[in-house]
Amino acid sequence: MASSLIGGLIADSFDPNNISVVEINGEKRERLSNSFGIQTYESLENAVDSQDVVVFCVKPQQFKEVAVAAGKLLSTNVLVISIAAGIRTADICSWLGGDYAVVRAMSNTPALVQSGASALYANKNVSEEQLNNAESLMRAIGIVEWIEDEALMDVVTALSGSGPAYFFRIMEGLINGAEKLGLSKDVAHLLTLQTMLGAAKMALESQEDIATLREQVTSPGGTTEQGLAVMNESDIDGLLLKILTAAKQRATQLADQLGEP
């Protein structure tokens, strides 16, 4: 995700000389430097103390250790952005050791191709200028939406954070089904992917809502109507709600486990 963010910023004309990265792995550190022409460091010292914005691109399980160390070096007016799933702003401030301006960002893996979907939540310490900076930064990898209630970040995690895997699983099923009905794997694969891409593109660019777009494809007595009938008989809405609920509950559990007692 860090590489996606760096690449997106540079593609958006951000000066690579103004980007510094801390990476403890020497091979990864050299690759980042060679690929993007940015400044890289092995440790936090001299890397974060003079920055206006510091982005934590670490695994949730590693966040506390890194934040405690960083808190000894950060200036008090820095904007802290976290892309770690499930780590709450109160815990971040506690680990940093101060009442910092913190923005939580929940993005997803399509950020790797600058097509991410990010939801942002800001705590009370974030200024208007910092809000704009956070949004500009995250727009380098896709769309951005703001969330006013931090508790809803668990829903975002379940929806867009985990969502790509749901769509990949649906694509797997369509490809396998088409193969069983006689199509070659290559043809089934390409048709499935292009159909999914085309549907998403239509939904993004159309003035109509999703339900209307579905109705426009569904001719009375036609093939689409028959397929949709099976989906409705299987309670597709109920299944999707169960999927989102299970993922949301797990996100909340992880936040409770990883956060301060």
Domains of the chain, first to last:
2-149 (3.40.50.720), 163-255 (1.10.3730.10)
- Of 44, 102, 103, 51, nearest in space to 72 by CA: 44
The whole-model pTM stands at 0.88
Long-range contacts of 98-104 (CB under 8 A, 24+ apart): 98/71, 98/74, 99/125, 100/74, 100/76, 100/125, 101/77, 101/125, 101/126, 101/127, 101/130, 102/126, 103/79, 103/130, 103/131, 103/134, 104/150, 104/153
Q: How many Å is the Cα radius of gyration of the chain?
A: 21
Handedness of CA 36, 40, 44, 49 (dihedral sign): negative
Q: For residues 49 and 40, what is the distance between their CA atoms, to the nearest angstrom?
A: 14
Please enumerate in sequence order all residues whose Cβ is within 8 A of that of 213, keeping only pairs 6 or more positions apart, or say none: 202, 203, 206
Q: At residue 144, what is the residue type?
A: V
Structural contact between residues 112 and 147, judged by C-beta atoms closer than 8 angstroms: no
**Count of Cβ atoms closer than 10 Å to residue 196 Cβ:** 15
Q: pLDDT, tens digit, for every residue of 147-203?
A: 999 999 999 999 999 999 999 999 999 999 999 999 999 999 999 999 999 999 999
Bridge partners of 56? Answer: 82
pLDDT in tens, 107-150: 998 988 889 999 999 999 999 999 999 999 999 899 999 999 99
Q: Which amino acid, residue 234?
A: S
| Per-residue pLDDT tens digits for 211-239 | 999 999 999 999 999 999 999 999 999 99
